[in-house]
Amino acid sequence: MKMLVCICACNGALREKLDIRAVSKAARKLPDVDSVLTVSSLCTEEGRTLLIRELHDRNPDRIVFAACSPRNHEQTLRRILVAAGMNPHLMQIANIREQVAWVTPDRPAATRKAKRLIHAAIARVRYHEPLEKLTIPVCTDVMVVGAGPAGLSAAQLLAQTGRNVILVEKSPSPGGMPMLFDETFPDRTCGSCMMQPMLDGVLHGEYPGRIELLTLSRVRSIRGALGHYEVSIAQSPRYVDAVHCVGCGECVNVCPVMVRSSGFGGVDKRRAVDFASSGALPHVPYIDASACLREKGKSCTACLDACPVDGAIRFDDRLQLHERTVGAVVLATGGAMFDYARIPSLIQKSGADVMESREFERMLSNDGPTRGKIRTLSRRTPRGIAIVHCVGSLDEEYQPYCSAVCCRYALKYR
Ligand code: SF4
Ligand code: SF4
């Protein structure tokens, strides 16, 4: 093997910080090193021309650059190798500027460190193989997981660029958490009104047919690699046909089953057949199979009998599997609430009713469980309310980072 070690003095700046001559001498003695070249500045036109000429003359089969960070000039150096007729991957960079000169004030120590980094780079470049560029056909369709604000925006932007999008949402309707917020920070816009233009864009926007929305769906499996993934999506039955349903709500009015809603802290109640939220789009209800009397072996047909449209209620709906090919996946699954029950002292010491922000949010909503009135768990009007910020955040024991939303979120209650 015939190696060239090329040391860049960074316009003389490195000479003050380390002994370039000693570094060069040490490199010359390392196995397989054929020659060592010191240049004033590799990233200038002059340095580039000099290096191309030297590469032609010396004809090395591996190169180690002792220079600045690969973040700065790795691509520059690769282009020089290509210009000299070499494979651009037969090189390795020892970063003797950011990792040595700039952080090691003691000159002898910096010199020793530079020697070691060059030694390591030589040991590594020995194993480099010439890589060739391949052209691989890729699928341009994209799967976006999560149809909250982030997922909806991503889907729209992708559709604008001409991509086909499969938008996978686990809940019965798109829109995410804001759909249940009565007022949002800072201008107190209603959450579902805020989401309306985005939902409209996805459901009936300028890119018809580009976005396929799959609600009540989860990604079952994904196989493949960047540019070509085979995805399998399981879609739970809705039991209401979105094409036939006119959203009149007659089925909801007659359903005899009332259960706690699984979302938003479980404070809301819903019928076994109900809309996901009052502003849900498309405005089509769904039957929660776990609550429906039919799943319990009873023979209820109240919703079917009340429905004015033939074929809208479909008790024979079944789980569907959708197989799709996509080139990329965008994960926009949103945030999750921190479980305050993990901090027992918060509840035990206060002696007060403690509820999480989403429960409080729903209580303040006009369509919430108390129709906008604030009540304790025992349904009394509280004498005062304390809002605790940063629960679980900025705490090494729970989440060491800041949620970045709770301050603004809580300030709207003022
Ligand atoms: S069939 Fe189920 S969803 Fe329909 S009304 Fe009866 S309990 Fe409600
Ligand atoms: S399923 Fe029938 S009753 Fe229920 S909202 Fe749709 S059209 Fe109305």
Q: Which residue has the tokens 């864009």?
A: 201
Per-residue model confidence as pLDDT tens digits over 23-55: 999 999 999 999 999 999 999 999 999 999 999
Cβ atoms of residues 350 and 343 within 8 Å = no
Which of these ranges, 327-336, 374-383, 389-398, has the smallest mean pLDDT?
Answer: 374-383
Question: Which residue has the least CA distance to atom 7 on ligand 2?
Answer: 245
Which of these ranges, 27-36, 118-127, 154-163, 194-203, has the smallest mean pLDDT?
Answer: 194-203
Both tokens of 183, joined, read 């007022």
Distance CA 304, CA 113 (A): 79
Question: Does ligand 2 lie within 6 Å of residue 219's CB atom?
Answer: no
According to DSSP, the residues that pair with 326 across neighbouring strands are: 229
What is the number of the ligand 1 atom nearest to the C-alpha of 301?
Answer: 1
Domains of the chain, with CATH numbers? 3-125 (3.40.50), 142-236+319-331 (3.50.50.60), 336-414 (no CATH)
Question: Which residue has the least CA distance to atom 4 on ligand 2?
Answer: 251
Element (H, E) at 326: strand 320-326
Which of these ranges, 7-11, 264-268, 300-304, 395-399, has the smallest mean pLDDT?
Answer: 264-268
Q: What is the pLDDT of residue 407?
A: 82
Question: Does ligand 2 lie within 6 Å of residue 280's CB atom?
Answer: no
Which among 261, 264, 260 is positioned nearest to 359, based on CA atoms?
Answer: 264
What is the number of the ligand 2 atom nearest to the C-alpha of 249?
Answer: 5
Per-residue model confidence as pLDDT tens digits over 152-180: 999 999 999 999 999 999 999 999 988 88
Question: Does ligand 2 lie within 6 Å of residue 120's CB atom?
Answer: no
Distance CA 322, CA 254 (A): 33
pLDDT of 9 > 90? The answer is yes
Query: Phi/psi of residue 412, each to 5°?
Result: -70, -15
Question: Does ligand 2 lie within 6 Å of residue 237's CB atom?
Answer: no
Pocket of ligand 1 (CB under 6 A): 255, 257, 272-273, 287, 292-294, 300, 302-303
For residue 247, the ligand closest to its alpha carbon is 2
3-state DSSP call for residue 178?
helix
Per-residue model confidence as pLDDT tens digits over 298-355: 999 999 999 999 999 999 999 999 999 999 999 999 888 888 888 877 766 556 778 8
